[in-house]
Amino acid sequence: MAWSEEVQQPALWSHFSFYASGGTNGAVTESLNPTGKQFRFNELRLHFSVAFASVEDLVVRISATKGSAHNVILLSRALLGLTDILLQLSNAYDLLSDDQVVIGWSQASGVNIGGLNVLGWGIWG
């Protein structure tokens, strides 16, 4: 195993709030890389219009630019009976410029609408 190094210069950080919504039969997947540069993932809020009556799953993962050996699952949760999910990290998760936060869930009915909000900080400019 060999170490690789990536040096990050001081930069201007700005808060971001990413919104998405959807409701289709099958799977819903959103990928987040808000600035195209280094960013910090702080919080995820997910609300569904009705509680799930079937076994469906939510997965939030980091897709790492350094390869799949560095991917991380932040949250894996069954949605049965739930309408709201709130994931707040006590320390922001730092990501490289080409890393992505991938949020996906399955659903059997297009009637249920999911509203997704992701908060964090990103380098701008």
User: 87 and 75 in contact (C-beta within 8 Å)?
Assistant: yes
pLDDT tens, residue by residue, 51-96: 888 888 999 999 999 999 999 999 999 999 999 999 999 999 899 8
Q: Where are the domains of the chain?
A: 13-123
> Which of the four pLDDT bands, split at 50, 70 and 90, describes residue 9?
low
- In degrees and rounded to multiples of 5, residue 75 shows phi and psi of -155, 135
User: 72 and 66 in contact (C-beta within 8 Å)?
Assistant: no
Question: How far is the C-alpha of 64 from the C-alpha of 123, rounded, in Å?
Answer: 18
For residue 99, the model assigns a pLDDT of 92
Fold of 13-123: Jelly Rolls (2.60.120)
Using the predicted structure, report yes or no on whether residue 44 has a pLDDT greater than 90. yes
Whole-prediction pTM: 0.84
DSSP letter, residue 80: B
Beta strands in 1-125 (DSSP E): 13-22, 26-32, 39-48, 57-63, 72-78, 84-95, 100-107, 114-123
